[in-house]
Chains A and B, each alone.
Chain A
Amino acid sequence: MLTLENVSVSYGAIEALTDINLQVNQGEVVTLIGANGAGKTTTLRTITSLLSPREGRVMFEGKEISSIAAHKLLPMGIAMSPEGRGVFANLSVRENLEMGAYIRKDKKEIADDMEKGFLMFPRLKEREQQKAGTLSGGEQQMLAMVRALMSRPRLLLLDEPSLGLAPLVVHRIFEAIDEIRAGGTTILLVEQNANAALHHSDRAYVLETGRIVMEGDSKQLAADPRVKEAYLGE
């Protein structure tokens, strides 16, 4: 479904990603784990065309998307919940979700999808008319995820959904990831919380200073002594 072929990205003279090869197949949850500054967010920003690769290419369903305008990716079926949530603090929860459905015109079904989102996270329903800026970090994350789902994406990119959240909320977020996957959406999950990410995914890539150093089945990686030592704190 999504393939990165030999992708390298630089910020000016600094190389942020080197020769990344990554694949996400239909129906999978794939996770990309790594420490701060390893290049996880850069990878997602490259996939969503907010950055363009210096070398290599990004393919989605057989089409090259490396140089397509960022706003044209959503109609193709790629949505993202960005790092730091990226909710529109000056818009209400409802308006944020309307923005998530910006490219759609089927009002009836948009309303249905919004209700589905409220079922997934009832807290959002309670806060429907509130400005998104007044929500807690966890609620903003829930909003960012539901907002991304409002376009009915086939591929959902999640950038550090658990960052800075209380354990109970993190638990709820990962449950939701399982629910979204069960609904048929393919997911690429970028996480620092390697433990949770490996338990809620099929395959994983480990990123270190801009290079993929390990990849494989999530369960196997979770059992790998190197991963345990470096990322699981064991």
Chain B
Amino acid sequence: MDTFVQQLINGLTIGSIYALIALGYTMVYGILRLINFAHGDIYMVGAYAGLFLATSLGFAANPSAFGFVVTLVGSMAIAAAMGMAIERFAYRPVRKFSKMTTLITAIGMSLLIEYLFVFFFEGKPRSFPQLLPNDNITLFGNATISTSQILIFVVSMVLMVILQYIIYKTKIGKAMRAVSFNLNSAKLMGINTDFVIAFTFALGSALAAAGGVLTAQYNPKIDPLMGIITGLKAFVAAVLGGIGNIPGAVLGGLLIGAAETMVVGYGSYIGIPSTYRDAVAFAILILVLLLRPAGLLGSNVQEKV
């Protein structure tokens, strides 16, 4: 029981991070039918932006809740700007060509970001300062929850509620949904679709950056390639939930996170060593594509040609 609760807590913690990143994949896919492979790297950029802000503004030396909030919001803003720049200068010029062109551009963008960071900030991991005290709270038996885990739950929950509000209640959010359904009809409404697309990238990138900073608080070691595997798992989460479907991205993220830690906790009983944790997501991907390609919450829509 202790193990189960513990693994569930751990699973939902990383699951929340996957969910934050998966939201960006799914929103961009919903609007452009593009898998933005550079999105995982934005998560890494968010962590580095957090490191930069925390050290240059002195929060690393004097940790405080205020410092954490400034670091979080600041790195979200930096990542949002970067997401918009990538859209503007890498994807928009090739949008008129085939989808394959944009997809390959995205893969190139991903590699470019990764190795620019290796070049400028070295490939070796850096330690991220602890901005908030991290204590373990014993729930019962051996099951504990740390304050940084609680922080991840609370912050991701708040961000998802804000996202929900933006998408369903604000004018720009409604425009995003309109554009994702029919780009040309949206243009006829006078909606500046280029702006809406840029805004979508900004929103998704900010969420990924929040994921980066939160992860760095939980596991304070960041490196330029940290976005690869996490990004891929978040992508699987988006596919599992039904790509293009926003609640699906959250559900998918939490499920992938839980499945992964359950393998760590119980895999050895059925002959799966815990080192296979990274393979879990991809096994799930294969199963989803075979059994339910539209994902758990996705509707089976025929691709428009």
Contact = CB atoms under 8 A, between A and B. Distances in A.
Contacts of A72: 190
Interface of chain B: mostly helix, strand, loop or mixed: helix
A74 B190 contact: yes
B3 interface: no
Contacts, number: 67
Interface in B184-211: 184-193
B185 A86 contact: yes
Interface stretch (B40-48, B88-96, B173-181): B173-181
Contacts of A230: none
Contact size range, A: 20 to 34
Interface in A43-67: 48, 50
A90 B262 CA distance: 36
A196 B192 CA distance: 35
Contacts of A48: 188
B177 A91 contact: yes
A98 B171 contact: yes
A70 B187 contact: yes
A71 B192 contact: yes
A99 B181 contact: no
A80 B174 CA distance: 19
B184 A99 contact: no
A79 interface: yes
Given A91-B174, A99-B175, A50 B189 contact: no
B182 interface: yes
A73 B182 CA distance: 18
A225 interface: no
Interface string B156-188: 000000000000000100110110111011111
Nearest to A76: B190
Contacts of A69: 187, 192
A82 interface: yes
Nearest to B180: A90
Contact of A88 (B171, B185, B187, B193): B185
A28 interface: no
B187 A95 contact: no
B187 A99 contact: no
A99 B178 contact: yes
A181 B186 CA distance: 25
Contact of A99 (B189, B192, B193): B189
A69 B191 CA distance: 11
B187 A71 contact: yes
A122 interface: no
Contacts of B180: 90
A48 to B, nearest CB: 6
B190 A88 contact: no
A164 interface: no
A91 B181 contact: yes
A119 interface: no
A145 to B, nearest CB: 13
A69 to B, nearest CB: 8
Contacts of A91: 174, 177-178, 181
A138 B188 CA distance: 20
Give the interface centre of B174, B184, B185, B191 by most chain A CB atoms within 10 Å: B185
Contact of B191 (A79, A90, A99): A99
Given A95-B174, A99-B174, A102-B175, A74 B189 contact: yes
Interface of A: 48, 50, 69-75, 79-80, 82, 86-91, 95, 98-100, 102-103, 147-148, 151
Given A82-B184, A89-B181, 15 more contacts: A69-B192, A71-B190, A72-B190, A74-B190, A86-B182, A86-B185, A88-B181, A88-B185, A91-B174, A91-B181, A99-B175, A100-B189, A103-B189, A103-B190, A151-B190
18 contacts: A69-B192, A70-B187, A74-B188, A82-B184, A86-B188, A88-B177, A88-B181, A88-B182, A88-B185, A90-B177, A90-B181, A91-B181, A95-B174, A98-B171, A98-B174, A99-B175, A102-B175, A102-B190
5 nearest CB pairs, A to B: A74-B190, A86-B185, A70-B187, A103-B190, A88-B178
